[in-house]
């Protein structure tokens, strides 16, 4: 697989996730649908933000190295960092849903995500 085909696949996946998110926001009433509507909202939001973050981190890695092979060899790291960035956003949204998001709670969520990333970076 080339980096160009990977980028196109991720772009199409992110656009499909965006379309799913728009459909969920426009067609599902969270008061009537209950937990199912909330799960659909969070899953579609997670997939969209994960796709965008993975594309972003892969692009940064490619620009930093100037080499497509190096960026291809680090796709796993970019994927993990994109998923963790999406989990951070979902964590913020979840805290905001219950109106308990303050700056120190947000900092604790960000620190937890950072600790998970540091664990993966130092594990060898």
Cβ neighbors of 106 (< 8 A, separation 6 or more) are 92, 95
Q: How far apart are CA 78 and CA 19, in angstroms?
A: 23
Question: If pLDDT is split at 50, 70 and 90, which confidence band does 90 have?
Answer: very high
> Does residue 70 or residue 23 have the better pLDDT?
23
Is residue 18 within 8 Å of residue 6, measured between CB atoms? no
pLDDT tens figures, 65-74: 888 888 888 8
Q: How far apart are CA 95 and CA 102, in angstroms?
A: 9
């Amino acid at each position: 697989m080339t980096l160009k085909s990977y980028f196109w696949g991720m772009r199409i996946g992110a656009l499909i996730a965006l379309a799913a998110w728009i459909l969920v926001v426009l067609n599902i009433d969270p008061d009537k649908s209950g937990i199912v509507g909330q799960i659909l909202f969070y899953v579609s939001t997670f997939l969209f933000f994960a796709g965008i973050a993975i594309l972003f981190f892969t692009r940064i890695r490619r620009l930093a190295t100037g080499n497509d092979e190096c960026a291809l060899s680090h796709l796993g790291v970019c994927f993990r960092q994109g998923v963790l960035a999406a989990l951070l956003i979902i964590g913020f949204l979840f805290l905001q849903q219950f109106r308990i998001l303050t700056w120190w709670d947000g900092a604790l969520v960000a620190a937890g995500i950072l600790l998970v990333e540091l664990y993966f970076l130092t594990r060898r």
